[in-house]
Structure 1
C-alpha cells in the first residue's frame, strides 16, 4: 500500500479510467513503455520491482544510439495493472492526455537492482517487442532547487544498438504494441487500420524469431556477441564435418585421474593438413569425472576442487551418461566476450557462480570405454553429441574446433582481443604431458611466474605497488623482472596481506639482481606464490617486457614454474609429419639478437632495450612499436599542431624536463619546425616525426588547442577535471557528467578522454575562435560550476582551496597552453595512456589510468568505430560567456 500512496493521491479514480491497483504479492520482471501525450509528449519507462512498477518519464523517448543519452525523470511508483492501460486521461486530471502501450516485455537486472537504484546506476537487459539488449539508467547529481531525481537512459553498445544515421525506432515503430493503433486513433477511440496491423505483425514476427533463436540448443543469452563466437562463426568447424563412429574404443575401467595433455608454445600456428584449431581460454584447466551420478572436478595436478565449483559439478551430474572423463577449462567471459583470468578470480572471491562457464574440449572416457587411443576428431564428435543433450541453461559449453589455416585464424583471434589459439592434430591420440600434438600460439606472451618479492604502493602503505618475479631453471630461482600494473586496489591489498606472512630477510635469488639495488629495494618473500602474468616477450637480458599481473594461480606450485621458450617451427613441422609420438630433445635457446640498435618505422633507435618504465618492463623499442601501431588513431589529433614534450632520457622514474622548442638532443630532420617569437616550436606531420621523439626520450606529447597555420584561434577547448585531496573517482565521474550536461544544454557536442593520470578531459571542438573569447567561455563554465556547487568544485588553481574538491581547470585554454595528446603515454607508473572513450563507457571506467601501453591495442582491436569519430569535422560556434 505504501508504495502506491503517492500514485493514488494524485488521481481521482471516479473520473480517470486508470487502474487503482495494488502492490502485487507475486513478483515478476514485467517491463513496459507507454507513450504519453500530456502537457509535453514523453515516454514512461516502467520496470517491475517489489510488486510495483518503478517509473521514469523519458522526455524524448528511448534511443538505440549509445551516444544519445535521454533524460529520464523519476516519478511515483505505478501499479502493475497500469501496464495494460491504453486510452485517454481527461483534461484537467493529473497527466491528462493520450496514453499508448508503445512496448512491453520483460527486464532483467545485471546485478542487485536495489543496490543499483541506491548507488545511482541500474544496468539491465530488455526483452520487449521493440527494444532489446542492455541498457543503463544513471542518476545525475541534484542541482540546487531540484526536488526530483533526474537520470539518464543510455543504450549499451551491443548488437541491438544503432548508429546515428540509422532509422529512429520511435518513428519506425510508432504504434501500440497492444492494439496496433496510432496516438490519434487511441484519442478518437478508433480501431487500427489493416496497414497498421500489418506493420505491427512484422515487428512481432521479428521478435518471435529472436525469442526462438534464444531457445535453440546450445544458445546462450549474452549482452554482446562473444569474441570467441565471432571467430567460430567466420570459419567451418569440426561439427560441420561428417560424424565419425567410435570404433576401436576398448572396454576399460574409469580412471581416477589422467594427467592432462599439455600444449607446446610456438611462435607460429601450424599451417598444414590434419590440424584443427580452438580458442585459447584464460582460466583454470579442470578434468571432470562422472561416475553413476557422482562428480569430481580435478585440477591439472589432480587436486579435488569439486566443492569450489558446485554449479559446474551439478551440471556434469545432469549429463545423460553413466560415466565420463572430460577435459576442459573453467572461465568467466567479460562483456566483450573475451575470457579473463582476473574476472574469474573476482567471481570466485565474490562467492557467486552464476558467471562461471566450463568449456569442454576433449572426452577421454565414456560409459566404460577408453577413448584416448581414438583420433581427436572422433573424441570431439562424441563430446559434441554429449553436450548437445545438456539443458539450455547449463554452464557447459562445447569448444568448437575450427578447420582453418592456423596463421589466418591466429590473426583473427588477435584482432578480436583473444589470448591466442590452440592447434591440435585431428588424427592424434590423447597423450598425457607436453608434446607436439597440441601447439599453442599467443597474441601476447603469458605464463606463470614465481613471486619473489614486492614493493609497497606509494599511495597505500598496505597495498602492493609492484611484484618481483622469477622462474626456476635447473633448481635455481632466476630473476625475470617486475610488474607494477594489472592490480585493482582490492587485489593489491589482498596480495599485501598474503605476502606479508611470507617475508624473509634475504633475497630468494642467488644474488640481488642489479635492477633491485636502489632506493625502492623490495621486501623479499618466500617464493611460494605463483602469479599469472601477461607480457610482450623477453628482453635480451631475460627480463619480461610490458608485464601485467592477471591473478594468483592456486592450481600450480612454484616448483613447477619454468620459462616457456618457443621452439623452432621446423621442429614442430617435422614432428607433425610422423605418426610416431616420440619425445623431442629440448630445443636450445637461440642467441639473442644484437640489441645495440634497431629500426622501427624507418627511424633508427639507439639502445632500443633501454627500459623506459621499469614497473611495466616497457623499453624504448616497445614505445616506438606502440606509436607505430596507433598512429592512424593518434594522427588526427596531433599532426599539424604545435606540441610540447616531456623528456625523460633515463625513463619514467628518472629526471624529466618539459620542452616547448627545438633544442639539442632531438634530431629535427623528421620534425616540422615553425618560427615563433625568435625561437622554433615543434610539430609532427608523420609517424617518422613521432618516432624521432621516442629516440630522444620523449614519454609525453602535449598539444595546443590550435593548428600550426592558425595559432591565433582555438579549434579545441579542454576542461581538465583535476581531483583534489579527499575526492574519489566517483566524484570525478560525476563532475564529467556535469560538464557534459551543461555543454549539451548549450547544444555543443563534446568528447571525453582519460588523462592517463588522475582525472578526465572533456574536449570541445569549435569553429576557429579568438583565444580571449575561448578562454572567457571556459572560465565562465568553470566558475558557474563552482558557484552552483562550491562544496564539490573550485575554479581557482590555489592548492589550499582544492581539498575535497575538483578543480575545473580551464587554464589550458590559452594560446600557448597545452594538454596531453590523445593516445600519448604518460611518464607515470604502468605506462598509462591518455585514451579517448565514449560517454557510454564512463560508467564502467575504473580510473583515469585504466588504459596503458600494455592493454590499449587490445581495446582498439575490439572497437567497432573510433570513439572520437567526426571530431575533426565539427565547427560549432561558442555562445557568449
Structure 2
C-alpha cells in the first residue's frame, strides 16, 4: 500500500521546481482523513480544482467552468495528477513559466463522504459522494466519460444530485454569489497583489420581504415542574388500559374461614402447561407472563428467605427484595412470584436480569408477587384464586409502587384479545388461571401459558469452541429429556456476548467427557466441526423459531443460564389444547388462533445448520484506536444495548457509515442500499425504486453490520411499511463556530417550549457529536406536510432571534449561531439512530436522555461505548418510554 501510494506523487513532484514555486512538496501521509478542497485557479484559463482526500493524497480534477448547484447541469472535470495533503492550505501565486502558473485561491473546503467504496467507484467510473463545506453541500456525482482517440487524461462530468442543497437555473450562481476565499476573504486580484487577509464578514441579518411564517413564536409560560404525576415504570403500568379490578363474590369464604396451618418450609410451586391457544370465558383470569426467576418468598417474624422452584436459598442474590418483604404488615407469609429486570416499556428481560446479577446491580430488580399461599397461620391454598389475590392485594396495598416489591394484577379480559395486545407490546406471553381453582403443586391444567414465540429451557450436551477465541464457546449443543433419555435438539450459536461466551467456556470445559451423552453421535454432528461433549447438567433458556420434523430447533438464540432448574426436568414443551383444558372445568372453549405480532420480520430460510449465527472475523481489529475499542467490543456493546435500541431501529430503513479499517483511518463511506460486504440473509431488505434498502429486525442483523465495519447507523423518520409517511421528525441543532454546548441546550429547550405551545410533546437525545436532536413523534403524515412544518418552525426561530439561530445550510452564516437543521425531514433523509455509535474520536454514542438531564450534561459526546453501561444500569426508567405510542397530529399552517 505504501509503495503504491508513494508513486502517486511522482508526477506531481516531477512537474514542479520547488526552489521556484511556493507550492508544497509534500508526501503521502499515513493518517487518513476525509477532507476536500476546491481551489479557484486563474492559470492559462480560469478553472476550479476539486480535490478529494483518499489514500493519503488528494485525488484531483480540474473543473473547467466550476461546480454548478443545478441538478443535471454537467460540468467537465479533467482528472489530473494526485496532489499532497499539504496542498489544501496553499493559497498564493505560482510564477509564470512554471507548471500551472497563475493565482490560486482556497474557494471552499470541508469534508466529503462517499456513498459506497470510493476505490470501486473510481475504478468503475462513477463516484457518488456528499460534500459538507462552507459553500457546497449535499450529494454529487463524478461520472467518467469514454476516452477519445489521442486523449491522454480521463475526462469526467461533475453533476449535482437532487436534494435540499440544489438550486434552479433561475437562482443566482454560487460562483458569483460567493467569489472570495473562505480562508482569507480575498479576491484573486488581492491574492496576486499580496494584500493582507481580510477579517471575515459579519453575517447580515437582513431578511427578504417575504411574509413571516405563521407559527406561534411567543414562548409559553413555563409549566410548574412535576404538575403531572408520572406513572411508575412497571409491568402493571404496561397493561393498565386492559385492567379490570378483580371482584370477590359475596358467597366466597372469608380468609378467617380458611384452614389453619403451620407455615411450611417450602411448597412445590404450581406450574403452567403450555397451550396452543389462550382460553376465553368467565372461568379464567389472566396475567402477564414474566421473563425472570420464579421465587417463593417466605416471611417468618421478620426473617425472610427467597427460595427457587427447586427450594434453593437465593436470599443473598436479592437482598433488596428480601428487605422489602420483611417490611410487610404480617407475622408470617408465603408469597409466590417472579423476580425480573425490565427494559423498554416495562418489558421484562431474562438477559437483562442475567446482566444485573453478574454486575450485582440489585437496584434494577423487581419482585412481582402473583399468589399468596399462607398468611399469619392461615393456609390459603384451598381457597379460590380470586380470594388469594384479593388478600395479596390488601397485603401489598401500602408498598411503594416504584419499589422492589410489586403486585402482578389479574386482568379480567378475554384471553385471545389480551394475548394479541401483549404480543404487540413485545411481551413474552400470558398466563391464564382458573379463577375458582385452589393452589395445586406440580404441572396441571389449572394454569395455562400461551407464548408469543417459542421459548423454553434446554440441557447443554456439548459445545464448539469459537473460531475467533479458543477460550470462548462458539455454539452450544442442545438437548432435552423424554422418557428419561436425552434427545438431541440442535445447536445455538448466537445470543451471547464475548464475555458470556468466555464464562460458558470456563464452566463447560470443567465438565467435559469423552463419551457422547446421546450414546451415538447424532447425524447432524458428524459432518460439522466436532463438538466437545460435556456432562448434561447445565440448563439454558433459548428463544427459537419453531421445530423441524426431526425435533431440531430453528434459529435458536441463547438467552441465559437457568440455575434454578434441574437438567432432568427439562422436556420438550408440547402445546396442550386449550379446548381440552377448558373441558376439564366444564365450559366451552371459544379461544381464537394466536395473532402474529412481529412485523417486518425477514423471511429467511429455516435452515438447521445456519441458526442465524454471526462469525466475527478478526475480532481484535481496532475500530477506535484512541479509545482502544475493537470489533469484538462493538459487538458486545450492541448485545448489551439491544433491548434499549430495538424499539427505535426495528422496522425502519437504515443508512450506514462503513469504516472497514476503523474510525480514524479515513476510509469511511456512506451506504443506503444493500451491497457487497453485507450479509443479506441476516437483514430485512425492502425494494424501493429498483433498489433494496436495508432494515434490521433482530440482533444478529445488527451484529452482521459490526462484522462489515459499520460504525454508524442512521434511520429514516418512517417505517418500512409506510415509507411515504413520516412518524418521527427531527430538529438537528448544530452549533456554529463561537457557540458553546450551553447554547445548544438553550436552543433545544426553545424548540421544546415552542412545540409545547401548540400542544406537541417532544423527546431529546445527544448526537454523539456536537449537537442535540429534538425528536417529535407524530401521527403518520405525508412527507411534504411534515417538512413544511419543520421548515416553518426553524424559519420562525431564525426570524425571532437572528442573532442566535440560522435555518439555512450555508456554513458562512453559522458563526455564533445554532443551525436548526430541518433537512433531516424528507423521505430518504436519515438521522443517527438512538444508541448508534459514531465514527468519531472516543467512540461516542447517540443517547436518548430525559429533558431534566440537559442541565447536567457536559457535551453531546459524553456517553461512549465504554461508559454507557454505567448509565443504563442506573436508570430506573427509559427516558424515551412510550415514544412509540405518541401519535400527534401536526397543526395546519396557512
TM-score (norm 2): 0.46
TM-score (norm. length: structure 1):
0.46
Which has the higher relative contact order, 1 or 2, with Cα contacts under 8 A spaced 6 or more apart? 2
| CA radius of gyration, larger in | 2
